[in-house]
Structure 1
Amino acid sequence: MSRPRLKKFERAVVADPLKLQPRDIALLRDVGEFRFLNTEQIFALHPGGKRNLSRRLTALFQHGYLDRPQSQTSARLLSSHMVYALGRRGAELLSKDAEERERIYRRVREVERTLPLMAHSLMISQFRVCLTLAAKTHGVKITRWSQGYDLKEMLRHVHGENPSLVPDAFFTLEDKDDVINFFLEADRGTMTAERFVDKLKTYWAWRSDER
């Protein structure tokens, strides 16, 4: 008798515990750090047999370590690439205490709150995946990456008040003796040219203040 076909967004009842491997932990850390990753992005970060990795992703989902946000079905995403977020058991595994676990959950909730932001978040993830692979190839270190609530808190600490503008990300690259900071703006064609220029002016003012 053939096994019943599992629905993409429903977990089956699993009796046997999943024996986690070191590669599973690395995968969960990446999904937690990136907030959302689709299968294509995961394959790029974790090269190897795609079929085996796909099965492992399914197992991690079925056991609650990963989630498959159902909102991706109406967010105009490519249906061939399943989107994953960190699940409750995954957050519990990676967090050292309740405070860190809540911080991990907050990362996901802040993006999942509205549907259009999931596609935007995946755009940021795509940039970060490409940056990670390029940096590894050329021996450049990504020493800092901050986005979302974490970045807002960092800017509040620097400026002493709620920031009027929060970039999509802030990151630092180290290349030999050079240390370079970057702001990231990911636009899916929804921002006017005037608004984009205003943001650039704000970033330039911040840079000038730091000198």
Structure 2
Amino acid sequence: MTNGTINDMEAKRSRGKLFTRPEKPREISITDRNVAHLKHLSRLRLCSTAQLAALDGGSSQKVERALLGLWENGYIERPESQVTSRRKEKGSRPLIYGLSRKGASYLRSHGFEVTRPLLDGIDKHKAAGWRFIEHSVGISGFFVQLELATRSQQGLRILERAEIFTDAPTPVRRVRLEARIPINGSSRRCTVIPDGFFGLRFAAAGEESYFMYEKDRGEMPVTRFRTQYGTYVAKKLHIYLEASRQRKHVNELGIPNFRVLIETTTRERVVQMIEALEELTSGRGSNLFLFIDEATLAGSDPLNARWVSGKRNHVRLVD
């Protein structure tokens, strides 16, 4: 079956049955490629066909065929909120997939780790709103870029979750940091949950670095908020700063260091964030944070791109 044939078939199904599995799915055998797709979805949550094809590194036609077989047999899901977006944006767009409960169970039964929050909430993806899906796929895009960039770097690898939290005082189900910060003249306990978390091991130096990743869509206020409970960028920065000062990452996550990577929409917004950080730190800024805009990152990769530190210096993650 040619790639064009697959796309034509899917286009015909999109008129009403693109998200309805056939009564008689095609027969498949779970190959190493299929297992790799399931593992990627377990780790990244939601991915487009283009992202999964990039990670696969082989023929996009074979990837599409493999995903179609996995979906028809219930190992992966197609979030139904794609229907509206595909109707609004005429033309083809990559399908988005998430791991189903059946796919998660398969991985666990074969010794692969599936995090509990993902396994428990897997079926909710079918009803997830498009904005949530779009944001999740954007986060996955960063981690796809990161993995592809790491493959070309000798002596550098991404650490597995189990490796990172070996020394954690208690089991870590979800990365989160909590701290008290002043809001409207009173101290409030606030929590920040990064959009992503990863570690890098530099073999030559015998060192490990840890990063919390935030994908900012440009919709959140930088320094203002509508209510005292609202979220804004400066509030997140303050929580990270205070949690780092109190060494929450050591005492709760068992990691010796971390930096916060913030990808945002424009260079102008990067400047606004750094100015907000300087206001929080009496003009000093902080190297805890590295900022980048989407266009700059798209022209490179997460490891070699020129991030801007909270002290306005240019930094690469591999330096």
- Pick the TM interval, shorter chain: 0.7 to 0.9
- Is 1:200 the equivalent of 2:214? no
SS across alignment from 1:48: coil
Identity %, equivalent residues: 26
Give per-residue Cα distances to partners, 1:2-26, cap 9 Å, x unaligned: xx85432111122664211111111
Q: Report the aligned-residue RMSD.
A: 3.2
Relative to structure 1, the CA distance from residue 100 to residue 56 in structure 2 (aligned partners, 3 Å threshold; closer, same or farther) is closer
Relative to structure 1, the CA distance from residue 165 to residue 151 in structure 2 (aligned partners, 3 Å threshold; closer, same or farther) is farther
Relative to structure 1, the CA distance from residue 109 to residue 198 in structure 2 (aligned partners, 3 Å threshold; closer, same or farther) is farther
Give per-residue Cα distances to partners, 1:108-138, cap 9 Å, x unaligned: 4566644321111111100111111111211
**Normalising by structure 2, what TM-score?**
0.55
Unaligned 5+ residue runs, structure 1? none
- Is 1:90 the equivalent of 2:100? no
Q: Indicate which of 119, 125, 143 corresponds to 2:159.
A: 143
Name the aligned partner's letter for residue 211 of structure 2: F
Q: Which has the higher strand share?
A: 2
Greater Cα radius of gyration, structure 1 or 2 = 2
Name the aligned partner's letter for residue 236 of structure 2: K
Query: Does the CA-based 8 Å contact 2:101-2:122 persist in structure 1?
Result: no
Name the aligned partner's letter for residue 178 of structure 1: E
Matches within 5 A, 1:53-72: 53-72=63-82
SS across alignment from 1:61: helix
Distance in 1 (CA, whole Å) between partners of 2:172 and 2:84 is 28
Tell me the residue number matched to 1:183: 212
Q: Which has the higher contact order (CA 8 A, sep 6+)?
A: 1
Tell me the residue number matched to 2:284: none
Relative to structure 1, the CA distance from residue 24 to residue 128 in structure 2 (aligned partners, 3 Å threshold; closer, same or farther) is same
Matches within 5 A, 1:3-42: 5-6=12-13, 7-14=17-24, 17-42=27-52
**Normalising by structure 1, what TM-score?**
0.80
Tell me the residue number matched to 1:104: 118
Give per-residue Cα distances to partners, 1:175-210, cap 9 Å, x unaligned: 122211211111112111122122122212222222
Query: Does the CA-based 8 Å contact 1:36-1:85 persist in structure 2?
Result: yes
Relative to structure 1, the CA distance from residue 178 to residue 74 in structure 2 (aligned partners, 3 Å threshold; closer, same or farther) is farther
- Is 1:125 the equivalent of 2:162? no
Unaligned 5+ residue runs, structure 2? 1-8, 163-170, 180-188, 224-231, 248-255, 257-319
